[in-house]
Structure 1
């Protein structure tokens, strides 16, 4: 009896767990709760197999693509074939009178855009209703192309057509970073590129400069950083010249002052009169320096 009761309790617990709702932010699928994710383009999704785990996104296999963004919160079961094979064969993707207009993008995304085959003489805005051009093929000379609206026009700048007959104007070739333009191209000839003749490889696209214009620096800007150096050098030279001029002027004035000094002063310093005779020292009582002094008794005073 006890075993039967235990079995009933376990069964009720399992049934309660199966009917229990998932926590917020989780997606319930059957008996498990999964955390949904958002898968980007070129990705497939994988739903979780264990409860309270997260769904996963996986890259599409090679040569396959998926152009849809998938949020697994809106998915209840795993669907096959999310990533589809890329097929850019115009005979498969387009009508016989049409062609793929984006072959490079088609190889990446798997999305083929068809347009009427102008090279085959078909035109029209709708690739599903292309019609054959009814004009004279001799009108389609070099530099003149056929448009999708079945009109003839001259090639615009940057486009060319180098053959006579059906076809549209094609865009000029773009030179790579390791190339320079040898021939710019015109309406009847494509642009020609060649290896760079300079020693350094540019980091930006090559620009064409006029031969008479000032050559730019390596980073494409003028050497404006040299201007402060030049100005500083000029100012320094001017200051040096001024200092030299002041020193020379001071020396010149001193020499000139010596030459213009009073000659009597110099002669007096040497003990000579202005007339060149030797000066006698002046003594008290008006005596000349050659007369001896007496003490009033006729005796010579030798105290001096």
Structure 2
């Protein structure tokens, strides 16, 4: 079994930053991920809201963060984490490629947007299909866009998009929104927002490898229509990637991880950062901030273990 002071599970911006801070404090660190480092940044064409860069390609920022996070000795390894075992001052991380022992585990596995599973969704992802208005809204200035969904996120992000877009069409499968009334009122009062009700979305229509519209069937009439749009923003839910941590008892009923402001969970030596936490804003910038906190807290926690050993002698 390989032993480290800290095992960081997830190599997105938060996990990489946590590894940087922990390794810089002279701790031995292993970063584990089932894919390439960078996480969802690798699926982002351009990032325009990260300090220090007017614009940078997502994969390029991933590469820069990776080299920065490993320059003090942190190691990177591939592996799908299956479970984490809490043995007090020792945590055992079980993966499909072996086990790791650590004093501290930092969970940074992120979340994923639920997909609607229609033609064109995967093919046009990053080419007009988006799951984040804050990330991509600026690319659609003075253009027509569509928002698919009717909950809080769909309506809130639809209102946000009106700051850039020429028009926003909210396409919902029901005959009324599910969002909070205050959000609904805000949307109904906005002249830039239109609504399509009782719509069963069938396809994200593409043209020249970019989104051109959203095809749907009216569930009442059976008629087929296409909403012209250069962007399709999908908001039908989001789910944390926390299945391997169920046995630790750190998840709420929906699978999110609660932490305090120091990124501590209810299990000593286990921290959680980034999109696995319950929060409103999921951006590179705040993931980096949380990673810095967790990396420093890992050092502080390990110091308490050392102090306890000295006192016991």
Using structure 1 for the length normalisation, give the TM-score. 0.17
Using structure 2 for the length normalisation, give the TM-score. 0.17
Higher strand share: 2
Q: Which has the larger radius of gyration?
A: 1
Higher relative contact order (CA 8 A, sep 6+): 2
